[in-house]
A and B are shown apart, each in its own frame.
Chain A
Amino acid sequence: MLEIKNLHVKLEEEDKQILKGVDLTVEAGKVHAIMGPNGSGKSTLSYVLSGRDGYVVTDGTATLLGEDLLAMETEERAAAGLFLAFQYPVEIPGVGNMTFLRTALNAQRKARGEDEISAGDFLKLIRAKAKDLQIDADMLKRPVNVGFSGGEKKRNEILQMALLEPKMCILDETDSGLDVDAMKLVSEGVNALRDEGRGFLVITHYQRLLDHIHPDVVHIMSDGRIVKTGGPELALEVEKNGYADILEEVA
């Protein structure tokens, strides 16, 4: 599904290398988790994959279903099936959440050569998906993420994911800021989307989320590289002992 090879990334504005050779493959149907200390480059990896400005790829490749992700515009990556649930969802004053969701869905359908969804069908669809995530009508009417609580913003990210049905989902600390109940809701939302044809890359600091979303593979990222890969037990080890032992071991 997602194949990253030897990815090197530096900042555009300054000569600072952030990713120093990331190798990572997420297979269809699998859930991979990435853990790692603050500042190790996890969000940077997700931004580079989705095409955010400000980063320069100096070496390496990234493909989605065999297609060169790095050659595509951000919107083309989305249409190709990539989705990033942001660590910090963006507020957009003046753009209604509904308008935003419908525009996004229709843009992706159009890019895939499908017809636009009718206003009635869209309303039905979005109401059903919002209900699952306990997002009320008021949140749909308000401007995108404006005045949303931290947890509401994260639920809104998952709503977008549920609506757009991407093939490859990257979740960047979707669990941070969620209360216990919201964590369950969000996990259920993610689990509902799990299937044979879809891959997940879940960035997190905590085992809590992984208790609900059972990962197949866990990676540890440090200083711009994947330094260790293992099964779910690796996350438990981090939870118990922190990163010190692991980082020492690989140093």
Chain B
Amino acid sequence: MALAQAKLDLTETRLAEMPAPTGEAGWAGEARSAAVARVRAMGLPTRRDEYWKYTDPATLTQAAAPRAAVFDADGEVPLYADIDRLKLVFVDGVFDPDQSDDLAMEGVEIERLSDALKKDIHWARDLFGVLETRGQDPVERPLAALNTGFATDGIVIRATAKVARPISFVYLHRDETSDAMLHHVVRVEKGAEVTVLENGPAAARFNKCMEIDVADGGAFHHVRAQGRDHERRAVTHMFARVGAGSTYKSFSLTANGAMTRNEHVIELTGDDAIAHVAGAAMGDGANAPFHHDDTVFVTHDAQCCESRQVFKKVLRNGAEGVFQGKILVKPDAQKTDGYQISQALLLDEDSSFQAKPELEIYADDVQCSHGSTTGAIDETALYYLRSRGVPASEATDLLVLAFLAEAIDEIEDPRLQDDIRSRLEQWLSRRRRS
């Protein structure tokens, strides 16, 4: 089907601005041109696309990144500060070896994407753009294909054992007009385990794609926080293929951000696989717009698999929240256990939450449930807390944290859970004082 002229123009204008990567191996070049062909065939998204009904992609697709002020953390201790981890630092989307740890660690091979694409690393070749391509069906995700076509930096990881320390991507934002693309590839071999942490806004505009392949009995854990910059924009895709008896768990914390679209595309391809995705978002539209969209697509394509989606949003002063979550159960995926909950706490009447939960089930012996709620703060609980002397603002924060707790509880590692929780508490108390 021919693309509408507006979409065609939008797509060609954007593509014209993108510098083609050079000096890469033959297979990489092929992956790149296939990706660009996908972008051309799909066209970049517009508000008229069903999948973008609740989120306007205009600022994500336009040629230049809208300006975004750099947040002044003012002496705040950065996230994960006390966690023993391997730190990889990116400044405005460019890997900075000087600020990063050495890439060598036991049980894992770590390489810069730009290096990997020059070599013939078969496992990287089998994944780069491959999981993204699989994730284009049945719903198109052109911004991810754009990423595969043009992202020159990123990290490729191959875990061959239980990796002792988390690998931590630190995304610094320094330039008010930076437009960054990163593409990471993670292969977790049989029985291996790795934790990937992400932290920071990355750029004024950030397009990130991560492809994760978890082999049988492997485990991939992911905890991310998307920085504090109010005006930054981000579109991220996590494409995961989860094998028999293996685990994929991802948690995201978002506070601030003019535009966030986080997509998870997860395929459970082996029996007894587990996928949990969770998110806690806290948005305040007072000083800058806040729009946060979690879009999740989980496909059950094997038996006895379990998937959970737990998304919580606290919105105030005109902040906007969106959740699109789908569980697709294929005919042979018997004994599927699927759960999905999305909830918003609206602290005022200006804020809004839109949810589109979907179940599509072709197997007969499955257990799937989903729910979505939008509510205001519990006035009775607020009064009770205040009657004990807790000031209204602090009482509200206690209730906010209580509301987000179910999502934060999804983080498996208690240290990371504590770190995220205490960081949230700190942000809230700073906010009260300012």
**A residues bordering B, Cβ < 8 Å?**
50-53, 73-75, 77-79, 83-84, 86, 89-95, 99-100, 103-104, 107-108, 111, 143, 160, 164
**Shortest beta-carbon distance, B379 to chain A, in Å?**
7
Task: Decide if B52 is an interface residue (CB 8 Å cutoff).
Answer: no
The distance in angstroms between the C-alpha atoms of A164 and B388, with both chains bound, is 8
Q: Which residues of A contact B406 (CB under 8 A)?
A: 94
Interface residues as binary, B285-320 with A (CB distance below 8 Å gives 1, 0 otherwise): 000000000000000000000000000000000000
Q: Which residues of B contact A74 (CB under 8 A)?
A: 383, 386-387, 392
Q: Which residues of B contact A77 (CB under 8 A)?
A: 387
Determine which of B378, B394, B402, B405 lies in contact with A107 in the assembled complex, contact meaning CB atoms within 8 Å. B394
The distance in angstroms between the C-alpha atoms of A16 and B387, with both chains bound, is 25
Nearest first, the 10 closest Cβ-Cβ pairs linking A and B are A94-B402, A78-B389, A104-B388, A90-B384, A108-B389, A74-B386, A75-B386, A94-B405, A95-B402, A107-B389
The distance in angstroms between the C-alpha atoms of A111 and B391, with both chains bound, is 9
Excluding A73-B392, A103-B398, 10 further A-B contacts by CB distance (< 8 Å) are A50-B387, A53-B383, A74-B386, A83-B387, A103-B385, A104-B385, A104-B388, A107-B394, A108-B389, A160-B388
The distance in angstroms between the C-alpha atoms of A36 and B83, with both chains bound, is 61
- Chain B CB within 10 Å — which of A83, A99, A104, A160 has the most? A104
Task: Decide if B80 is an interface residue (CB 8 Å cutoff).
Answer: no
26 CB-based A-B contacts, threshold 8 Å: A50-B387, A73-B392, A75-B386, A75-B391, A75-B395, A83-B387, A84-B387, A86-B387, A90-B380, A91-B381, A92-B381, A92-B402, A94-B401, A94-B402, A94-B403, A94-B405, A94-B406, A95-B399, A100-B398, A103-B394, A104-B385, A107-B388, A107-B390, A108-B388, A164-B388, A164-B389
Determine which of A90, A95, A104 lies in contact with B389 in the assembled complex, contact meaning CB atoms within 8 Å. A104
Q: Which residues of B contact A89 (CB under 8 A)?
A: 384
The distance in angstroms between the C-alpha atoms of A89 and B378, with both chains bound, is 14
Determine which of A51, A93, A99, A111 lies in contact with B387 in the assembled complex, contact meaning CB atoms within 8 Å. A51
B385 in contact with A92 (CB, 8 Å) = yes
Tell me the nearest residue of chain A to B406, going by C-beta: A94
Q: Which residues of A contact B395 (CB under 8 A)?
A: 75
A111 in contact with B388 (CB, 8 Å) = no
Q: Which residues of B contact A94 (CB under 8 A)?
A: 399, 401-403, 405-406
Q: Which residues of A contact B389 (CB under 8 A)?
A: 75, 78-79, 104, 107-108, 111, 164
A73 in contact with B386 (CB, 8 Å) = yes
A90 in contact with B390 (CB, 8 Å) = no
Q: Which residues of B contact A104 (CB under 8 A)?
A: 385, 388-390
**B residues bordering A, Cβ < 8 Å?**
378-381, 383-392, 394-395, 398-399, 401-403, 405-406
B402 in contact with A75 (CB, 8 Å) = no
Q: Which residues of B contact A78 (CB under 8 A)?
A: 386-389
**Shortest beta-carbon distance, B373 to chain A, in Å?**
13
Tell me the nearest residue of chain B to A78, going by C-beta: B389
The distance in angstroms between the C-alpha atoms of A79 and B381, with both chains bound, is 18
The distance in angstroms between the C-alpha atoms of A245 and B386, with both chains bound, is 40
**Shortest beta-carbon distance, A24 to chain B, in Å?**
20
The distance in angstroms between the C-alpha atoms of A36 and B357, with both chains bound, is 52
Q: Which residues of A contact B402 (CB under 8 A)?
A: 92-95, 143
- Chain A CB within 10 Å — which of B380, B385, B386, B389 has the most? B389
The distance in angstroms between the C-alpha atoms of A74 and B379, with both chains bound, is 13
Q: Which residues of B contact A51 (CB under 8 A)?
A: 386-387
**Shortest beta-carbon distance, B343 to chain A, in Å?**
12
**Shortest beta-carbon distance, A158 to chain B, in Å?**
13
Q: Which residues of B contact A73 (CB under 8 A)?
A: 386, 392
**Shortest beta-carbon distance, A11 to chain B, in Å?**
15
A53 in contact with B385 (CB, 8 Å) = no
The distance in angstroms between the C-alpha atoms of A52 and B382, with both chains bound, is 10
Determine which of B384, B388, B391, B398 lies in contact with A99 in the assembled complex, contact meaning CB atoms within 8 Å. B398
Contact A86 to B384, CB < 8 A, known contacts A75-B392, A95-B399 = yes
Q: Which residues of B contact A92 (CB under 8 A)?
A: 378, 381, 384-385, 399, 402
Tell me the nearest residue of chain A to B383, going by C-beta: A52
The distance in angstroms between the C-alpha atoms of A160 and B385, with both chains bound, is 11
Q: Which residues of B contact A100 (CB under 8 A)?
A: 385, 388, 398
Q: Which residues of A contact B388 (CB under 8 A)?
A: 78, 100, 104, 107-108, 160, 164
The distance in angstroms between the C-alpha atoms of A111 and B386, with both chains bound, is 13
The distance in angstroms between the C-alpha atoms of A92 and B385, with both chains bound, is 9
**Shortest beta-carbon distance, B314 to chain A, in Å?**
12
**Shortest beta-carbon distance, A8 to chain B, in Å?**
22
Tell me the nearest residue of chain A to B403, going by C-beta: A94
Q: Which residues of A contact B387 (CB under 8 A)?
A: 50-52, 74-75, 77-78, 83-84, 86
The distance in angstroms between the C-alpha atoms of A86 and B380, with both chains bound, is 12
**Shortest beta-carbon distance, A171 to chain B, in Å?**
13
**Shortest beta-carbon distance, A141 to chain B, in Å?**
14
The distance in angstroms between the C-alpha atoms of A51 and B389, with both chains bound, is 12
**Shortest beta-carbon distance, A43 to chain B, in Å?**
13
**Shortest beta-carbon distance, B119 to chain A, in Å?**
50
